């Protein structure tokens, strides 16, 4: 175990590594069960409870081939507020809106914005590009219904974590390419931006740090179906031909994260394309621990940085 890790998550990491060694090769079925079990058992220990909000409601919105749920967090009654469209992580195969309920509550209350958490359809049952199309459809529907929902359409941002950060920045790409909603910001926490798995940290940190290379290979294969699609810009935004014209971004990376290098590379490419980027690198953290706000002061500071960045972007608006 690397000595530079934050000390408090080390027992959790050691236990998870021991379980993984005994469980054999990963499968979506097992990882879904593990994810639900860990969320129930460990969530109260490492995650904050989430702030109180005035209203929480679900909307079902039409997408190609069906409908998806979007959960709305309203921090206080009345008024017109900016909107954050949020995408949970889980390798495109795991997770649901309940998984990140606490984060959405805290962002809604901290920023004083409406948060819309998108329950996009998961792989392998719904392969690429279903999730990215769901994400863009949700963004477009929310902005189209801004008057009904109390949203300021000139103050809309996207954000997400890991695979969800991929979906967030791809939604921004689609909005640019399709003449969709104009966005003022994107919050990209430990983003997965290169599904070719070719970045050095995937190999350097691919075992022993909770998220493994074997899991990334499984997730990418289940999501893409055809590995040749990994080179498409809407699958791997790091490989997109043109990143100009995207909204300013906050990009967070973690020191002991297999996705560390592609997050840093994506931030560099955005900067090279003329997109303002704020970088935050979490020393001593693994992929998941940026969210351990109950356990780690540095995770609480990360949340404060997100709130400050979003609040500033919403104050500026489109104009």
Q: Is pLDDT of 2 > 70?
A: no
- Domain boundaries 10-316, corresponding CATH code: 3.40.50.1820
Q: Is pLDDT of 5 > 50?
A: yes
Q: Is pLDDT of 203 > 80?
A: yes
| Interaxial angle between packed helices 10-23 and 28-46, expressed in degrees from 0 to 180 and rounded to the nearest 10 | 160
Q: Which of 101, 106, 134, 162 is catalytic?
A: 162
Whether residue 55 lies in the annotated active site: no
3-class DSSP state for residue 84? strand
Q: How high is the mean pLDDT of the chain?
A: 94
- Give backbone dihedrals phi and psi of 315, rounded to 5 degrees, phi first: -65, -40
Task: Judge whether 77 and 107 are in contact, CB under 8 Å.
Answer: no
Count other C-beta atoms under 10 Å from residue 318's C-beta: 13
Q: Which of 88, 285, 287, 302 is catalytic?
A: 287
Q: Which of 257, 261, 285, 289 is catalytic?
A: 257
In the chain, where are the structural domains located? 10-316
Whether residue 106 lies in the annotated active site: no
Whether residue 162 lies in the annotated active site: yes
Confidence of residue 318 (pLDDT cuts 50, 70, 90): low
Q: Is pLDDT of 1 > 50?
A: no
Overall pTM > 0.75: yes
**155-162 average pLDDT score:** 98
């Amino acid at each position: 175990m690397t000595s530079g890790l934050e000390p408090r998550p080390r027992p959790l990491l050691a236990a998870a590594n021991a379980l993984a060694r005994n469980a054999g090769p990963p499968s979506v079925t097992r990882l879904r069960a593990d994810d639900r079990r860990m969320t129930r058992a460990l969530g109260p220990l490492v995650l904050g409870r989430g702030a109180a909000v005035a209203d929480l409601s679900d909307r079902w919105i039409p997408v190609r081939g069906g409908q998806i749920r979007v959960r709305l967090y309203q921090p206080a009654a009345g008024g017109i507020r900016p909107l954050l469209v949020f995408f949970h992580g889980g390798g495109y195969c795991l997770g649901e809106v309940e998984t990140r309920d606490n984060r959405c509550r805290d962002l809604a209350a901290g920023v004083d914005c409406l948060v819309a958490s998108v329950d996009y359809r998961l792989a392998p049952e719904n392969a690429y590009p279903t999730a990215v199309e769901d994400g863009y459809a949700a963004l477009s529907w929310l902005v189209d219904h801004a008057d009904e929902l109390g949203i300021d359409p000139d103050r809309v941002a996207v954000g997400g974590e890991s695979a969800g950060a991929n979906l967030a920045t791809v939604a921004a790409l689609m909005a640019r390419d399709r003449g969709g909603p104009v966005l003022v910001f994107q919050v990209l926490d430990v983003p997965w931006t290169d599904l070719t798995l070719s970045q050095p940290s995937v190999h350097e940190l691919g075992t022993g740090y909770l998220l493994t290379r074997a899991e990334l290979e499984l997730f990418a294969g289940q999501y893409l179906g055809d590995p040749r699609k990994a080179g498409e810009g809407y699958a791997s935004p790091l490989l997109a031909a043109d990143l100009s014209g995207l909204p300013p971004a906050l990009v967070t990376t973690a020191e002991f994260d297999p996705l560390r290098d592609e997050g840093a590379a994506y931030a560099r490419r955005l900067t090279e394309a003329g997109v303002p980027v704020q970088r935050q690198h979490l020393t001593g953290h693994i992929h998941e621990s940026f969210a351990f706000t109950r356990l780690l002061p540095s995770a609480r500071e990360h949340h404060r940085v997100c709130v400050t960045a979003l609040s500033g972007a919403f104050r500026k608006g489109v104009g």
